[in-house]
Amino acid sequence: MLLKKMSFLLFFLCLVTPTFSNNISVSSLDHAGEIARDRELREFQQAFQPGTAGYFAIGMHYLPFPTQTQLSSEYGTHDGFAFRHQMAAYFANPIGNSGYDLGILWWVERQGWDQEDFFVWPRYGEFSLVRSIHTTGATLALPKYHLGAAGGIQYQNVEKTAKIYADESDSLFWWGHATWGPTVVQTSFHEGEWRHVRVSMDLESKELWGGASHGWSTYLPNFDVGLFNGDGDDSLRISLEQNLWAQQLYAEVAVYYPEHGFRSAMLKYYPDASRIVSFDVTCFRLNNDDLVWGGGLTLPFLRVGYNHASDIENFFGSRGTFMIELRFALSSAKSGFFGLGAAKSAPMDSERVSKKLWDDSSKKATEADKKEITAKGIRREKSK
């Protein structure tokens, strides 16, 4: 009954909110490819921690009505569906007893806009844009010293582009990544020219990776600085993440230079430090300097947002409508399962129950042994 009520509520919200939704611009679709390439490398950066055994994620947005993401072009307004279908997989295994872990990875995202909703085969209409971005490579890590290196290629495949969009063709990029303790350096190249350089410092101490579970070191900041060599002037992106309380309440701020300045801010609450569930309040600054407030809820298999900053930035500027994403994302290590950037692994109730049952059975066995020893004991009597 509860599931039916939630399904009806989500459907009702999707039915009502298209009235207030903004249209997607041709420009936002033109630049979505480069945003996706950077997003895949940033997600890999979070997933690739020396000692991680694997990461798997899959997701797609559910937009039931063609009026939720209408396209505005020089020919007018067009009903249709913006889409993002993504999948990520990373697996690593030890190399014998050497202490090294060897891994492989594949990130893929299919995105764009089409005049009909689809899962596999788009319509490829006269205003459609369909592209896919692949990031693949190999990793080598030495968990004992928290050292890691990775490298590979990024391939952007253009399936369909209408005449209203900028000229675009298939392209191949090379990328490299190095991790040493809390420091990460990442870069990519295209046709002999560098495209981006990123330096990240995760100073926050996390129990998941052998750090502290509480104390002042858990309140150190995490920051990321990325320099991008685009078609125009170079640009700089700076983001900061700060633990505010018990590694469950975080603030995130993003700043872009030379354009925009302040870009977005988020306040995220995680009921558990494993980061599998979150409640978000966000603020996003538009190009006209207007501030858009929103929020969202992330569950293990579902994410719902309204004017969420990540949707505005990563889903072609969409706002004014409820966004529903069917998703699943989970990392694993020897300590258990967790979400990206987590400080601790998720509490495993099954392990706790098993341990309790084992302790109870051991206790009963010990008591039984004591009784048996008492029954078989030798009683001595004084001679008269």
What pLDDT digit, counting tens, does each position of 354-370 carry? 444 445 555 555 555 55
* pLDDT (average), residues 215-243: 91
Note whether 162 and 221 are same-domain residues: yes
Note whether 368 and 236 are same-domain residues: no
Note whether 312 and 372 are same-domain residues: no
Is 341 a domain residue? yes
Number of domains in the chain: 2
Is 383 a domain residue? no
Could you list the residue range(s) of the whole structural domain that residue 93 is in?
2-345
pLDDT at 174 over 60: yes
* pLDDT (average), residues 182-192: 94
Is 79 a domain residue? yes
Note whether 253 and 364 are same-domain residues: no
3-class SS string, the chain: CHHHHHHHHHHHHHHHHHHHCCCEEHHHHHCHHHHHHHHHHHHHHHHCCCCEEEEEEEEEEECCCCCCCCEEECCEEECCEEEEEEEEEEEEEECCCCCCEEEEEEEEEEEEEECCCCCCCCCCCCCCEEEEEEEEEEEEEEHHHCEEEEEEEEEEEEEEECCCCCCCCCEEEEEEEEEECCEEEEEEEECCEEEEEEEEEECCCCHHHCCCCCCHHHHCCEEEEEEECCCCCCEEEEEEEEEEECCCEEEEEEEEECCCEEEEEEEEECCCCCCCCEEEEEEEECCCCCEEEEEEEEECCEEEEECCHHHHHHCCCCCCCEEEEEEEEEEEECCEEECCCCCCCCCCHHHHHHHHHHHHHHHHHHHHHHHHHHHCCCCCCCCC
Note whether 359 and 258 are same-domain residues: no
Is 382 a domain residue? no
Note whether 335 and 272 are same-domain residues: yes
Note whether 240 and 370 are same-domain residues: no
Is 197 a domain residue? yes
Please, which pLDDT band fits residue 74 given cuts at 50, 70 and 90? very high
Note whether 245 and 102 are same-domain residues: yes
Is 381 a domain residue? no
The fraction of the chain above a pLDDT of 90, given in percent, is 74
Please, which pLDDT band fits residue 246 given cuts at 50, 70 and 90? very high
Note whether 303 and 363 are same-domain residues: no
| Most trustworthy range by pLDDT among 3-17, 300-314, 350-364 | 300-314
Please, which pLDDT band fits residue 231 given cuts at 50, 70 and 90? low
Note whether 284 and 303 are same-domain residues: yes
Note whether 29 and 149 are same-domain residues: yes
Mean pLDDT is lowest, of 95-104, 229-238, 375-384, for 375-384
pLDDT at 117 over 50: yes
Note whether 99 and 148 are same-domain residues: yes
Is 87 a domain residue? yes
